[in-house]
Amino acid sequence: MSTRIGLVGYGEVGRILAEDLRAQGHAVKAFDLKLRGVAGDPMRDHALLHGVALAGSHRQAVAGAELVISAVTASQTVAVAADCAPGLAPGTFFLDLNSASPGAKQRAAEQVDGAGGRYVEGAVMTSVPPYRLRVPLLLGGAQAAALKPLLDTLGFAARVGSGTLGVVSATKMCRSVMIKGFEAMVIESFTAARHYGVEDAVIASLRETFPGIDWEKQAAYFFQRVIEHGRRRAEEVREVAQTVREAGLQPWSSAGTADRQAWVADLADEGVFGPRGLPGFARSADWRTEADRILDHLQRQTDEPR
């Protein structure tokens, strides 16, 4: 049977979910703030291709939905919940997939539950594109067990992590200290090594210490993902840093990771890696190509007259 789904956020994750849900015949209505400008043209093209209805506001997107999925940038987690809440029908499930701190998830839940909806936090535990709808997903909160059967019928690979709100988000955030930090460290280490001409020696040493990792392939993947999605990743890691603060620790590592991710995003916006959307942008099979672009940019800055 077809399920009516409201999708808030039509970026990479939102479009993947929309494609897979529409392929099963479910009705998907989506909204994204970018739809209000020319930046939304690719979204409109995608929606037309896959039969996704587009809404003009958060409330329109969630009106009449049996399930609402929030897949926006981390900084918008609470604001989107507040904007959607007045349009929710009583008892509507609200699945929050955003990478936000436990505190942010609790504030979002207050908005949804206060309006009569049923809030469930979802922690996406790895990168979505390879798994698509079947990406490993932890559910949390008082309504998590009630939502799981519906997600099972939709094809999600979800399991209940905790009935206490904030637990699965803490799991995701603490994992991201490592994963997003790993990305930032590889970009920093390998780019510096490339500058000094010691990258092959560094990789050989890493291969001896961590033989299970294909460092060439992993580095290429990290460079590509951060160049393409560094802005969103930086926002997520700022939420990671907030999670660490909520534990009483100073987020020295997380704060540095957020800065590095945002720095790469700034370079991408400046066109250092080529025009977005054109073939070759952040698609090199050799991370050295992207590291050289960074180093060339830094050298040009040094050579500019002051």
Rounded CA-CA distance 27/14 in Å is 14
Fold observed for domain 169-303? N-(1-d-carboxylethyl)-l-norvaline Dehydrogenase; domain 2 (1.10.1040)
Q: Looking at residue 39, what is its pLDDT?
A: 86
Q: Looking at residue 305, what is its pLDDT?
A: 64
| pTM of the predicted structure, to 2 decimals | 0.84
Cα–Cα–Cα angle for 14, 185, 302, nearest 5°?
105
Per-domain residue ranges of the chain: 4-163, 169-303
Q: Which residues pair with 96 in a beta bridge?
A: 70, 121
Q: Looking at residue 284, what is its pLDDT?
A: 78
Q: pLDDT (tens digit, 9 = 90+) per residue, 142-188? A: 999 999 999 999 999 999 999 999 999 999 999 999 999 999 999 99
What CATH superfamily classification does 4-163 receive? Answer: NAD(P)-binding Rossmann-like Domain (3.40.50.720)
Q: Looking at residue 302, what is its pLDDT?
A: 85
Rounded CA-CA distance 75/9 in Å is 13
Q: Looking at residue 278, what is its pLDDT?
A: 67
Q: DSSP H helical segments within the chain, as ranges?
A: 12-23, 41-50, 58-62, 77-84, 102-114, 128-131, 144-154, 167-196, 199-209, 215-246, 252-269, 287-303
Domains 4-163 and 169-303 share a fold: no
Q: Looking at residue 35, what is its pLDDT?
A: 93
Residues of the chain with pLDDT under 50: none
Rounded CA-CA distance 50/104 in Å is 32
DSSP structure class, residue 161: E
Q: Looking at residue 275, what is its pLDDT?
A: 81
The answer to whether 21 and 71 are in contact (CB under 8 A) is no
